[in-house]
Structure formats: C-alpha cells, structure tokens
Structure 1
Amino acid sequence: MSSPPAHQPTAEQQPEDPDLEASESTLKPAVAAPPKQRRRPALIGLGVALVALGGLGAAWLATSVSDSVSVIAMSTDVPRGQVIERADLTTADINTDPSLEPVRAGRIDEIVGQHATSDLSSGSLLTLDAVADTVRPGDGEALVGVAVTAAQLPAEPLRPGDSVRIVDTPNPQDDPPSDTPNSIEAVVVRSTVDQESGQRVVDVVVPEGDAASLAARVATGRITIVLMSRTEGE
C-alpha cells in the first residue's frame, strides 16, 4: 500500500525566508545627487568690484564732509557802497580750496554794518576785499582807475587798503631822470583784470586835487605802481 503523496504548500503558504526579508529590508530607494553648481568667475569679479566701489564711495563721502567748511554767502543783491545787513547774508558749506578765500561763517557779525566795495550778487561767496568799514571815495577824495601791464606792477599782489605811489617814468629811449620823478600817493580799493586788453586795472583813491593830474599821467602809459610798507596795516 502506497503512502499518500506529500502535501505541497502553495506560494502563499511557503515559509518566509529570514535571509530574504533581511536583504529586502536593507534596500533603500535611490536618491539622485544634487546637480553641481557651476561658478561664474565674471559674476564673482563683478561682485568684488561693486563692493570695492562702495567702499571707495563711502571713503570719498567721508573725506568730502570732513573737508567742508561753513562760509558766508550773499542771500540778496547788494550794490556797491550800500551797508550790508544781517538779512543780506547766509551761510554755505563748501569744500576747502586754496584758490578761494571766502569769509568763514563765524565772522558774520563782523560783516554786518560794513559797506560793499563792489556789487555783490545773491548766491556769491563773500570775500574780505568785498567789504570795507567806510565808503570810498569819501569827502575830498576821488577814485581813479590806473590801467597798467604786469611790468608796471610789483610781483606781490595788491590788496585793498595798500598804500602805493604812482610814479612817473621816462620814455623807453630816454635816459634815466637825474632828479626824483614825480609821484602821487594813493590807496588801493580793488584790482581787476580787463578781459579785452589783458591789462590790470587798479582802482585807487587819491586826494581830489590830484585826480586830474593822475588821470593825465595814466593816459600816457608812462607810470609804474610802487607798493609802500604794510607794517602799519598789519
């Protein structure tokens, strides 16, 4: 008598393989690696340049602010000879410049009450030679413009208030005079350059009786201006 055939388990009844379960449990889904970012040297260089420019700009701004000074400026038009009032003045901050000599804002009280020596325009910076304690010419005085070349002037620039002598000179081909040449004492009011002729015009105040004689001498062109001592004015 044959033995009954052994019962074969179905796929659902197959015993689980512990090794297979262990190997399956260790499997993980594959994860794609992040793409590598390419560095762009041009963009990096641009960023560095912008940072450097920003630093230079900040340094320039700090230097400009530290070099600025407060000076006096005109807030209204003031004609020559008129008394300057406080309402005519204001202040402005400018960068220091050796070629400029504006009056510092701290001296504004000294300027009030003085006379304008020339026409002062609104918005212009005020300089010391633009004001004076008194109006020139005064009683018994006359203002004469003396046009000269650089050779007829001292190398030292003339300033308002300087005492000068306008001296007669001989003709170019004449011998030097044996006697002391004639001269007229004067006080400098202002000195400007005539744009058309290139000559310097020095406005001077002289006694009224000397005005005609000085004007005639200036017309000949045979004069020179001599700067006198500044000791008393210092």
Structure 2
Amino acid sequence: MSEPQGAVADRAVLDDALTPLVELRDVTRSFPGPPEVQALKGANLTVAPGDYLSIVGPSGSGKSTMLNILGLLDRPSVGEYRLSGALTGDLSDDERAAVRARFIGFVFQSFHLMPRRTVLDNVLMPMQYSGVPRRERDARAREALSRVGLSHRVDFLPNSLSGGERQRVAVARAVVSGPQLLLADEPTGNLDQRTSGEVMSLFEELNADGLTLIIITHDDAVARRARRCVRISDGRLTEL
C-alpha cells in the first residue's frame, strides 16, 4: 500500500532538514612551491541548516583558505565539498558564480562598499546577479536596511557613516538576496568592542530566524559566542 501523499511530503521535508548544508570530506588545499604548502589538511566539517559556527585561529592558520573553499571562491586539491547535498567539484566557474549569488552571502572585515554609490545602491547591487525580479529589488533593499536599523541612512554615501554603520550596510547587502549561508570573515576586525557586540547581536538575530552562519575570526571572544566552535591550526580542524 502506498504512503499517503501528506506523509510523503512530510518525509521529504524531514530528509531535506537532515541533509547537511555544508559538508567537507577529507579536503586538502595545496599550493605549489617549492616547497609545496598545504593550507588545509584533510579537513572534515559538517554544518546543519540553521547552525551557528565559528572557525577560530591565528594568522596563517588556514582561515582564509577555508573561507575561499566554503564560499566557492577556490576548489579543494583533494576531497569533496557538498553544498546542500550537491557536489560542487564539477561545477564550472559560471555555475559556481551563480550558486554564490543565490545561495551564499559574504561579510568582510573591510566592508567592501562602493564609496561613490549610496547605501541603498550598495544593497541593491547584488540583486542584479541573484535572480531577484527587478520590481522587487527596491522594496527588498529598503526592508534589509530597516532590519539592520539603517532606514534613515538610505541616501547617504558609505564614507559618511561610522564603521559600525558601514558593517551593517554590508550585512544588509549580504542577506538581501535571501541566501541560505552567511560567511563572515573577521567581521568585527575594524570595530571597537561596543560596536563589535552590536554587529554580533545582529548576526545572531539573523541566525535565530534560520540563516546558517559561519564566522571566521582570530578573536576568541567572538568565537565563543557561537553554538559550535572549530579551531584551525596549521591547516587542521579541531572542534572545541
């Protein structure tokens, strides 16, 4: 006797929820020498949908290489990277760019805002590449800026904002297209302690709404805020 249609749908939803969003299997990333440098060494990592993970380590430990692999900006030399269950190794460069645009948001230490474009224009920009219909873009950008507390700054240029405000613009830009995964690379590195706390609280609000969050940092205090913490040292991962 076949399963009722509702039971099949429920099982599909359950299976989807159980599929890791991020899965690294024995990933090594080598750079040619001499001598050859292994920036990642047999890395294994599983991140569930909605997880909040920090990856902490000193300069030169492999954090940037890890970010580039997770963000589809680089490819493993050995091993597999699965994103939402799908192998990424055989994707072309154009396919990888399309997945990044639709699936992954990025926040960086140095904000990377366009200085001669308004706050609103900066948040509108990624939607040109992520498939958001043109008619929806303005409303979505304004909603994202409202979410980060910057509705009153839409017409300002980035250089007229404080560091914390610029990072909030960067967060709005990262989430406006509705990514499933947010990668934050040293997001508090240019901020004072109070502003760092405000930005981290914003990330945690987004995570509470279901966004999967990976913070890459050298700061143990930032790392400890996450539900899971992975230390990277000499290219090897150890969960704490």
Please give the TM-score of this superposition, normalised by the length of structure 1.
Answer: 0.22
Compare CA radii of gyration and give the structure with the larger one: 1
Higher helix share: 2
TM-score (norm 2): 0.21
